[in-house]
Amino acid sequence: MSAVREELHALVFDVFGTLVDWRAGVARDAAPFLKRHGGRTGGGAADAHAFADAWRRRYVPSMREVIDGRRPFTRLDILHRENLLAVLPEFGIDPQSVSAGALDALNLAWHRLDTWPDVAPALARLHERFVLAPLSNGSIRLLVDLARRNAMPWDAILGAEIARTYKPAPEAYLRSVEALDLRPQQVCMVAAHNADLAAARRCGLRTALVLRPTEHGPRQTGDLVASADWDFVAPDLGRLAELLLAD
Amino acid sequence: MSAVREELHALVFDVFGTLVDWRAGVARDAAPFLKRHGGRTGGGAADAHAFADAWRRRYVPSMREVIDGRRPFTRLDILHRENLLAVLPEFGIDPQSVSAGALDALNLAWHRLDTWPDVAPALARLHERFVLAPLSNGSIRLLVDLARRNAMPWDAILGAEIARTYKPAPEAYLRSVEALDLRPQQVCMVAAHNADLAAARRCGLRTALVLRPTEHGPRQTGDLVASADWDFVAPDLGRLAELLLAD
């Protein structure tokens, strides 16, 4: 067994994109909403996947204000809600014309996402040997809802809400490692995003890239390959489990 | 179904005493330590249960400094370690004569406690309907270790470490409710201690007393009955599950 692997005690996971297919899930819930409210893109009916992409595009900039200290820690549900109001006009919908209840219900689409098919069996196997926790920008409640829906066997919910800041701020990683009372090299960050792993590595964590080449749809251009010599690289979580659990 | 019950979404649990038998677990691990280091009580060999009681007795005073703001938040493992150094002389052991490794190992006795026999089956049943989390003064890592040892199906680890203060400070309860994104009346505090429930009720949570008449040994005098009209009172966790899950 490799020295890196032997030292590992916990695996911490990015969630959006790495474990759950946010694009399909948001599009599924947005489609009837867009239809009901007359959403439009260009000349035709709004495309629900384009809507999911547009909503998601506002994710990083909205967290940046918190990371930079220009705004106190604000949970992702609230950022999602603000971003929803901002994105609706791009699809021809006046947010003022939609009831608050309908907006809240659509906002909860992020709590109703499904895991990629390889996730549940791989997490179950990994849980026998490792402490498992999400290290996500999602709120505790959101991650609890996703875990209950998808039977994700988390030992604890770590990440942004306990650190009171967002990835890639170092505190998000370091506070999660501290909560596990481990040294950074005993914890491996698992993500489909090279930038997440680069930030984790700067904090001393081990790194594992799981490829999700259709996270952003069939024409994805980023994160198709490893951008650095991560400790582990795997085409899916099942294969990563084999790498980590092999004798 | 009662109105109180219908509103409940999550159950949060005291752990030491309510779910795990800390006295028996600490005594089990302390017995060989006391023998090896020549522990004495009065004229004879040290009693491991008396040692567990004495160690535990320093628990509340040590947290009080944090609750009162005289000391920054300090995890329970560190308080336990300090209290261990303080209690050893009472049993005729000079802490300076014991290796740091042996002290650290004994300190981890609190991570190796076993649940009362009714806990595992009741939590499994309750998990089907309710979000479950510890709302304990234990650290995240300690609660993860206890959960993995005893198969406690937590959805998240709440309590002191995410609130950065200890029960019965209101923030410990309110921060945990906030992390679940629920209203206090949607959350029920389950504990074997009337004082814990009184503090939870002051924060608006629902309350359930589970009796643990031998937590402090066969001559226990406190918490043998409900001191107020808690929402639920049960002789063990199995019976509480029946109350909460009955149609």
CATH 3.40.50.1000 fits A3-21+113-245, yes or no: yes
Contact (CB<8Å) A156/B157: yes
Residues from A contacting B (CB-CB < 8 Å) are: 75, 77, 131, 139-141, 143-144, 147-148, 154-158, 161-162, 179-182
Phi/psi at B185 (nearest 5 deg)? Answer: -75, -5
Topology of the domain comprising B23-111: DNA polymerase; domain 1 (1.10.150)
Min Cα separation A17/chain B (Å)? 21
Instruction: Give the rounded percent of residues in chain A with a pLDDT score beyond 90.
Output: 94
Q: Which residue has the tokens 């490893």?
A: A226
Q: DSSP character for A165? A: S
pLDDT in tens, B182-211: 999 999 999 999 999 999 999 999 999 999
Rounded-to-integer distance, Cα A81 and Cα A200, Å: 28
Phi-psi map region of B10: left, alpha, beta (phi>0 left; psi -120 to 50 alpha): beta
Q: Cα(A18)–Cα(A209) distance, rounded to whole angstroms?
A: 9
Interior angle at CA A74, CA A148 and CA A196, nearest 5: 70
Q: Three-class SS of residue A43? A: coil
Nearest chain B CA: its distance from A25 CA (Å): 22
Residues of B in contact with A144 (CB under 8 A): 131, 155-156, 180
Q: How many CB atoms neighbour CB A62 within 10 A?
A: 18
The predicted model gives A72-101 an average pLDDT of 96
CB spacing of A141 vs B181 below 8 angstroms: yes
pLDDT in the model for residue A41: 85
- The answer to whether the Cβ–Cβ distance between B141 and A77 falls below 8 Å is no
Of all helices (H) and strands (E), which one includes residue B124?
A: helix B119-129
Q: Which of B22, B24, B26, B48 is nearest to B35 (CA)?
A: B48
Question: What single-letter amino acid sits at A34?
Answer: L
Region A85-107 average pLDDT: 96
Q: How far apart are CA A163 and CA A75, in angstroms?
A: 11
Q: With contacts defined as CB-CB under 8 Å, which chain A residues touch B147?
A: 155
CA angle B230, B55, B86 (to 5 degrees): 135
- The backbone torsions φ and ψ at residue B136, rounded to the nearest 5 degrees and listed phi first, read -120, 165
Sign of the CA dihedral with A47 first, then A48, A49, and A52 last: positive
Q: With 80 as the cut, is the pLDDT of residue B247 above it?
A: no
Instruction: Give CATH 1.10.150.240 domain extents, chain A.
Output: 22-111
Residue span(s) of chain B under CATH 1.10.150.240 come to 23-111
For residue A147, what are its two tokens?
């875990």
A148 and B139 in contact by Cβ < 8 A? no
The predicted model gives B160-178 an average pLDDT of 96
- The first and second tokens of residue A157, run together, are 């919910």
Per-residue pLDDT tens over the stretch B20-62: 999 999 999 999 999 999 989 878 998 999 999 999 999 999 9
CA–CA separation, A122 vs A17, rounded Å?
A: 16
First to last CA, chain A: 6
Q: Residue A26 pLDDT > 70, yes or no?
A: yes
Please name the residue of chain B whose CA is at the shortest distance from the CA of residue A152: B155
Which residues pair with residue A206 across a beta bridge?
Answer: A188
- What is this model's ipTM? 0.94
Kindly report, as residue ranges, where domains of CATH 3.40.50.1000 are found in chain B. 3-21+114-245
Q: Spelled out in words, what is the top-level CATH class assigned to the domain A22-111?
A: mainly alpha
At residue A127, does pLDDT exceed 80?
Answer: yes
Q: Which residues contact B204 (CB under 8 A, 6 or more apart)?
A: B183, B184, B185
Per-residue pLDDT at A43: 81
Q: Among partner residues B131, B154, B161, which is closest to A179 by beta-carbon distance?
A: B161
Does the distance separating the beta carbons of B131 and A144 come in below 8 Å? yes
pLDDT of A147 strictly over 80: yes
Are B144 and A131 an interchain contact pair (Cβ–Cβ within 8 Å)? yes
Lookup: tokens for B240: 């509480």
CB-based contact B180 A77, cutoff 8 Å: no
- Would you put residue A70 in left (φ > 0), alpha (ψ -120 to 50) or beta? alpha
What does the pLDDT average to over A9-37?
97
CATH superfamily of B3-21+114-245: HAD superfamily/HAD-like (3.40.50.1000)
Strand ranges (DSSP E) for A44-113? 44-45
Give the pLDDT band (50/70/90) at residue A1: low
Average pLDDT over residues A98-120: 97
Give residue A226's pLDDT: 97
Average pLDDT of A206-220? Answer: 96
Q: Is the pLDDT of residue B1 over 60?
A: no
The pLDDT > 70 percentage for chain B reads 100
The token pair at B62 is 């040590």
d(CA B21, CA A77): 39
Q: Is the pLDDT of residue A42 over 90?
A: no
Per-residue H/E/C for A114-160 = CECCCHHHHHHHHHHHCEEEEEECCCHHHHHHHHHHHCCCCCCCEEH
pLDDT at B41: 85
Return residue ranges of chain A for CATH 3.40.50.1000: 3-21+113-245
Confidence band, pLDDT 50/70/90 cuts, at residue B2: confident
Rounded average pLDDT over B131-141:
97
**CA separation for the pair B107, A226 (Å, rounded):** 42
For the segment B77-124, what is each residue's pLDDT rounded down to a tens digit?
A: 999 999 999 999 999 999 999 999 999 999 999 999 999 999 999 999
| Beta-bridge partner residues of B236 | none
